[in-house]
Each structure stands twice: as C-alpha cells, then as structure tokens.
Amino acid sequence: VVTVKVSKVTKTFRKGKTPVEVLKGVDLVIERGACMGILGPSGTGKTTLMRIIAGLEVPTSGDVYFDDKLVSTSNRIVVPPERRNIGMVFQSWALYPNMKAYDNIAFAVKNRKGEELRKKIEEIAEVLDIKKVLDRYPRELSGGQQQRVALARALAKDPSLLVLDEPFSNLDARIRDSARALVKKVQKEFGVTAIVVSHDPADIFSVADVAGVLLDGNFAQVGSPIELYDSPVSARVARLVGEINELDGQVEGGKLKVLNGTVEVKGLDEGEVKVGMRPEDLKVSEDQVPGMVSLGKVRVKVSSYTGSSFRLVVSPIEDDRVELYVNSDRPMDINSIALLYVRPEKVKIFRK
C-alpha cells in the first residue's frame, strides 16, 4: 500500500500538427490507504492522469512518486507498469470471455500458486459475494457480477494501489448504488490506496474520502465531498458537483441583494457577483419560514412529482425570464403565487 504523489505533471498530445496540453502541471497527493475521487467532465484528462500514474503513459514533464520512489519523470518511465503493482478496473471490465470467472481472477496473480492462490481467491470472492459463480463464464454473469469479478481480479494480486476509471458507468442504475457501497467496503476492508475517477459526482461522493475536481488541465478544487458540495470555489465546480440555480446579485454594504431579498454575508468585496442556490435550499411558502430569508414573490410555472418529492419551477412575478428549480415536499398549483425562501447559510457567492 503506497502514498502516491504527482508533482507538476504536464501532458501534451499532438492532434495532427497542433500540440494540445491536456494536463497543465497537476499536483496531487493520495495518502496511504485513502480513497481519492477525481471528478471532471468528459475529455478533461482524467484517464490520461490515471494512465500516467499506472505507467501506461509517460508525462511530458513532472514526476510521479510511489512513497519516496520516483516511478515516472519527464518523458521517462522509471518503474514499468508491471512493477507498480496496480489493480485496475476500467469502464469496460474486459474479462476474458473464454475463461471462467475463477481463471479470470487467477490469471492476474503472479505472486501466488496452488493452494495459496485458491485460498486468496476464495477469500476475496467471499467479500464480493461471487463465490457461487466462480465456475461460470463471463457471458453467464450479470453486469453486476462481471463488475465484481473485475474488482476481484484487481484485488487478488494485493495491489499497492487500486485505480478505478468510470467503474460504474456500465451498470444499471438499479445496481449502481450497491456497487458503489461495495467498492467503498472492499477498499476500506483491504486498506488499499485507491483512486476512483468519474464524471458523475454521485460515484465520487459515495466512495471517496477526498475528491478533486479536474478542469482545464488542473485541479480547480480538492476537498471532502461535503466541502465541494457546500463550498465550491467557482460556479463551474458548483455545477459539476450538483444541481444549482445561478442568479446575478450585488454586494452592498456587506449585504447581498439577490432577487427581492437581502442576505447577510461576511467578508465579501462589494459589487456584482454570481449567486448560487441549490434546489434543496429553497422553499416556496405562503407563510413565514423560520430561519430562512424571503427572496420575494414568485409564480409557480411547473410542479412535477419526482417519485420521492416534488420539483417546482418558479419565476419572480416581475421577471418571467428568470427561472429557479425548487425541491418541495408538496405539490403547488400552477400559476399560484407565494414567497420564495432560501436558507441563508447555504447561499453561494462567486466572483463574476
């Protein structure tokens, strides 16, 4: 089990004649036994960064260390991938179709043989609940079982590092939650350092202790899932980690004016700002709501049932073009007029 350190890593690809810098000096430390999540839109270089850590791709510049050992440096692989002892699971689990589940797992293990190998595989299969399907071929397994066999294969060689690149995106929504919980459980149980990469914040939030948001070739923010969700450093980060309403606002005399409301804020520069409010931090009500601040009258345009709650779309009565999403525990009549409230401590303010 290792600490992974990525220092000032850049990667430039050539697209025809034009060089494109995909990674622009990435710094990252993943502590021994921690589970790091990397979130970013498609095409931001997440897979490229994983391939550099795994030694499958060479950095254009910068260094990668496993503990204190240099494994990659500018244009050079110092320790080859097969000697980095990494267990990897990719989006396509790529099990060998002509091998039974057991052999798919055993094939990856070089350091064990015979009875010792069998014991190891059975131990992992027990944790992942695939003991009964070890003698089946991949085509005889469900998607969830295939994913667990791929995970078992990655774990069977006692990896120093587990790399999971979009491991849940091929799973049905129905089993995705249990797959996430399982990954978290085995990562903690085996105590292995892990990196989970996804474009879906739910994947990252459910398994990672710490997460980084990769944007434009660099980490825009690194923090706990709660920090990223509650205190995003920019509107782009806020948008990537969850749904958010974005409005224009003004800070005057230490107070934020947004819509027809005034919210107390601390330590902010005066002037025009962008304001972010998550749908669950808003409420539409005819009455006063204790602890919440009124933003003025709104008209309900849409009220739809989402299975567990209601989703409203509302507009300030004086400006129909502004629309806000509100999560509500009850439906509202279309065109009804009520007051919009916000939880003031949850209001996010970004520089324009």
Binding site residues, ligand ADP, CB under 6 A = 13, 22, 40, 42-48
Collapsing DSSP to helix, strand or coil, 128 comes out as helix
Starting at the edge strand found earlier in the chain, the sheet holding 245-252 runs 261-264, 255-258, 245-252, 271-277, 348-351
Indicate which of Mg ion, ligand ADP, none lies near residue 43 (CB less than 5 to 8 Å, by partner kind): ligand ADP
Query: End-to-end alpha-carbon separation of the chain, Å?
Result: 43
Could you say which DSSP state residue 321 is in? T
| Contacting Mg ion within 213-272 (CB under 5 A) | none
Of 49 and 259, CB closest to ligand ADP: 49
Distance in angstroms (rounded) separating the CA atoms of residues 92 and 20: 26
Indicate which of Mg ion, ligand ADP, none lies near residue 45 (CB less than 5 to 8 Å, by partner kind): ligand ADP
Single out the residue of 47, 145, 198, 221 in contact with Mg ion (rule: CB under 5 A): 47
Of 13 and 350, CB closest to ligand ADP: 13
Smallest separation, CB 166 to Mg ion (Å) = 6
Smallest separation, CB 242 to ligand ADP (Å) = 19
Smallest separation, CB 50 to ligand ADP (Å) = 8
Instruction: Specify the stretch interacting with Mg ion by CB under 5 A; choose among 44-52, 150-158, 186-194, 316-324.
Output: 44-52
Distance in angstroms (rounded) separating the CA atoms of residues 122 and 141: 18
Smallest separation, CB 207 to Mg ion (Å) = 17
Indicate which of Mg ion, ligand ADP, none lies near residue 18 (CB less than 5 to 8 Å, by partner kind): none
Distance in angstroms (rounded) separating the CA atoms of residues 196 and 204: 7
Smallest separation, CB 164 to Mg ion (Å) = 11
Nearest by Cα to 37 from 192, 163, 186: 163
Would you state the structure tokens that stand for residue 51, as one six-digit string?
């391939």
Of 44 and 206, CB closest to ligand ADP: 44
Nearest by Cα to 148 from 114, 105, 98: 105
Collapsing DSSP to helix, strand or coil, 82 comes out as helix
Instruction: Specify the stretch interacting with Mg ion by CB under 5 A; choose among 43-51, 183-191, 282-290, 291-299.
Output: 43-51
Distance in angstroms (rounded) separating the CA atoms of residues 351 and 162: 38
Task: Find the helix packing angle between 173-190 and 143-156, rounded to 10°.
Answer: 20
Distance in angstroms (rounded) separating the CA atoms of residues 123 and 239: 41
Of 22 and 171, CB closest to ligand ADP: 22
Instruction: Specify the stretch interacting with Mg ion by CB under 5 A; choose among 15-23, 39-47, 238-246, 313-321.
Output: 39-47
Of 47 and 147, CB closest to Mg ion: 47
* Whether 145 contacts 130, CB under 8 Å: yes
Smallest separation, CB 64 to ligand ADP (Å) = 16
Cα-based distances in Å from 308 to 203, 261, 340: 21, 29, 21
Indicate which of ligand ADP, Mg ion, none lies near residue 40 (CB less than 5 to 8 Å, by partner kind): ligand ADP
Nearest by Cα to 110 from 154, 150, 157: 157
Smallest separation, CB 218 to ligand ADP (Å) = 13
Smallest separation, CB 25 to ligand ADP (Å) = 16
Of 87 and 217, CB closest to ligand ADP: 217
Positions that interact with Mg ion (CB under 5 A): 46-47
